Amino acid sequence: MSGVVCTLRVAEVTPETADAVSVSFETEAGIADELRYKPGQFLTLRIPGPDGWVARCYSLSSAPGDPRPTVTVKRVPGGLASNWICDRLRPGDTIEVLPPAGRFTPAPGHRDLLLLAAGSGITPVMSILRSRVREGGSAVLVYANRDERSVIFAAELRRLTEEYPDRVQVVHWLETLHGLPDLGRLTALVRPWAGADAALLCGPKRFMHTAAEALEAAGMDRSRVLSEEYQSLTSNPFAELSAAPAPPPADEACTGTLTVELDGERRTFPWPARTTLLDLLLAQDLDAPFSCREGSCSACTCRVVGGEVKLLRNSVLMEEDLAEGYVLACQAVPLTDQVEVVYD
């Protein structure tokens, strides 16, 4: 993954429910490498708006190895990008995207998964489910929706449970039948699977909060829980990519040195104290990945292997990630004279 913009041609737009569509893209020669992704990762799409362009993240619902990368988008009432995609995007149209990014992906050793999704949160979870089943793993999915008609991927989920009854189990939670998911009932529901290798959850904020509490109450260790929160980007990474990188402020003292390993190359630069790692790398013309630049998407994640940095904001990396040295380049400023960073 990198900060390079790809232009994709829409192959198909498939209605999933009255409020959601899947958009699949042609993979033309020359961009296949840029589009290599892990299950659960997202693309950042450039969408026209009334006052210019906006950028929005959409998770891939397809799994690596599927013929076409596909995103699935659910309308948000009054939402700019989701409604434009559902109403306006057609086969043959082209759209600019940033390559796949994100850390909402199970570790390779995690074969048996507990998945919790609500509404459009099913998108990355579906990618993970498809890929794990293909690799011989197993998954239990707890999937919350308003009613039966709003269940995205209902037919495919039914097919998977019929085809792999020993490895795929889907528990539907319909608000019209069961009310909103609450802590007590959700805890009782997930308890039998609290020994899964990992739990991955994605959905609206309130659902994620209840689901995380239910997993903890059911005895699942927090280090095995991974979550993805949806929100609209307020920055525009496409505009930032085409703009000349801002030079560091003139009064900024240069406190240290950065050594970075990116795309197989090792480079060393002075690192001014108040410049973020991402700004420094882009100013040096390096192809460092990023999307939100707000500390909330994890597209810019890299690993500190020497020295220390401080994160100005972080709403995506967990304590376990930080303990392993993972940091957000868009939010990292140096704390020590020498810092060494690698992009895995």
Interface residues toward ligand FES, by CB under 6 A: 290-293, 295-300, 316, 328, 330
Q: How far is the CB of 295 from ligand FES (least distance, A)?
A: 5
Does position 56 bind ligand FAD by CB under 6 A?
Answer: yes
Q: Which does 81 bind (CB under 5 to 8 A by kind): ligand FAD, ligand FES, none?
A: ligand FAD
Q: How far is the CB of 265 from ligand FAD (least distance, A)?
A: 28
Q: How far is the CB of 121 from ligand FAD (least distance, A)?
A: 8
Q: Which residues are CB-contacts of 5 (< 8 A; sequence separation ≥ 6)?
A: 46, 96, 97, 98, 238, 241
Q: How far is the CB of 238 from ligand FAD (least distance, A)?
A: 14
Q: How far is the CB of 31 from ligand FAD (least distance, A)?
A: 20
Q: Which does 325 bind (CB under 5 to 8 A by kind): ligand FES, ligand FAD, none?
A: none
Give ∠ CA 29-35-38 in degrees, rounded to 5.
140
Q: How far is the CB of 296 from ligand FES (least distance, A)?
A: 6
H helix runs in the chain, sequence order: 80-88, 122-134, 154-163, 175-178, 183-190, 205-217, 237-242, 277-283, 319-323
The token duo for 240 is 């930032």
Coil, helix or strand for 337? coil
Q: Binders of ligand FAD among 191-210, rule CB under 6 A?
A: 204
Does position 42 bind ligand FAD by CB under 6 A?
Answer: yes
Q: How far apart are CA 40 and CA 334, in angstroms?
A: 31
Q: Give the per-residue contact string, 103-122, with ligand FAD (x = CB under 6 A; - = no).
A: -----------------x--
Q: Give the per-residue contact string, 130-169, with ligand FAD (x = CB under 6 A; - = no).
A: ----------------------------------------
Q: How many CA atoms lie within 13 A of 186 on its CB side?
A: 30
The burial class, CB within 10 Å (0-12 / 13-18 / 19+), for 247 is exposed
Nearer to ligand FAD, 149 or 267 (CB): 149
DSSP bridge partners of 309: 334
Closest-CA residue to 66 (of 154, 159, 137, 131): 131
Nearer to ligand FES, 181 or 237 (CB): 237
Q: Where is 236: in which H helix or E strand?
A: none
DSSP 8-state symbol, 194: T
Nearer to ligand FES, 194 or 288 (CB): 288
Nearer to ligand FES, 58 or 290 (CB): 290
Q: Which does 74 bind (CB under 5 to 8 A by kind): ligand FES, ligand FAD, none?
A: ligand FAD
Q: How far is the CB of 59 from ligand FAD (least distance, A)?
A: 3
Coil, helix or strand for 107? coil
Residue holding tokens 């992704």?
A: 37
Q: Which does 227 bind (CB under 5 to 8 A by kind): ligand FES, ligand FAD, none?
A: none
Q: How far is the CB of 231 from ligand FAD (least distance, A)?
A: 5
Q: Which does 300 bind (CB under 5 to 8 A by kind): ligand FES, ligand FAD, none?
A: ligand FES
Does position 325 bind ligand FAD by CB under 6 A?
Answer: no
Backbone angles phi, psi at 127, to 5 degrees: -60, -45
Q: How far apart are CA 97 and CA 95, in angstroms?
A: 7
> Phi-psi category of 78—alpha, beta or left, where left has phi over 0 and alpha has psi -120 to 50?
left
Which residues would be at the binding site for ligand FAD (CB under 6 A)? 42, 56-59, 71-74, 76, 78-83, 102, 120, 123, 204, 228, 230-232, 297
